[in-house]
Structure 1
Amino acid sequence: MKYITENNRIYVDGSDDKVIAEITFKTNDGVTTIDHTFVDNSLRRQGVAPELVQMAVNKIIADGNKIAATCPYALKWLKQHPEYKIVDTDDTIS
């Protein structure tokens, strides 16, 4: 599977150029917030969602930003990986 990385998202195009997996994020004042994760039904239960979050976290860290999330899936994943400090949406460290 070929992941495409852009400034504000990482995604996978299907055979018909339709996005079949995607994670989006936005950066403001040194904090990058993961706000959406999507995986098409055809890819579910194959580890694509956690892979997307890990790739986004790696990019955020490489860019020198702090990590935040409003996406429920990304929040759950981050809480299961305490090695990554996350910034709550109210700017307090959790």
Structure 2
Amino acid sequence: MDIVRNEAANRFEVAVGDDVAFAEYRLEPGAVVFPHTVVPEAFSGQGVAGKLAESALAWARAEGLAVKPTCSFFAGYIKRHAEHQDLLAEGF
């Protein structure tokens, strides 16, 4: 499964046929906001949302960006995966 960063659309995404799962992001000075994640039913049970989160968080870490997870999925994912909690921006 190839997760790509689509800079033009400001999202990480993976496509299978006509279906696209994605995690949107918005850059701020020194930080990245993850406001929305969409995973179509065609991807159900394949761990796609987690793979999107892992790719997005790895990118944020590599770029030295703090993470602001306003998306409930991203917030919950980081809460369940302690190895990413150091990325959280103050107040998150």
The answer to whether the superposition gives a TM-score over 0.5 is yes
**Deviation per residue, 1:12-50 (Å, 9 max, x gap):** 23323xx52101111111011111111110111111000
Question: Distance in 2 between the 1:80 and 1:39 partners?
Answer: 19
| Alignment: residue pair count | 88
Unaligned runs of 5+ in 2: none
Root-mean-square deviation over aligned CA pairs: 1.5
- Tell me what 1:76 maps to: 76
Give the letter aligned to residue 32 of structure 2: T
Q: Which has more radius of gyration?
A: 1
Please say if 1:53 is aligned against 2:53. yes
From the two aligned structures, give the one with the greater helix fraction: 2
- Tell me what 1:10 maps to: 12
Question: Distance in 2 between the 1:54 and 1:20 partners?
Answer: 17
Question: Distance in 2 between the 1:15 and 1:46 partners?
Answer: 15
Question: Distance in 1 between the 2:60 and 2:3 partners?
Answer: 16
Give the letter aligned to residue 26 of structure 1: R
Displacement of 1:68: 1.2
Give TM-score scaled by structure 1 length: 0.82
Unaligned runs of 5+ in 1: none
Displacement of 1:69: 0.6
Displacement of 1:9: 1.1
Give the letter aligned to residue 38 of structure 1: V
2:83 is paired with a residue of what secondary structure?
coil
1:83 is paired with a residue of what secondary structure?
helix
Question: Distance in 2 between the 1:83 and 1:2 partners?
Answer: 22
Displacement of 1:2: 2.8
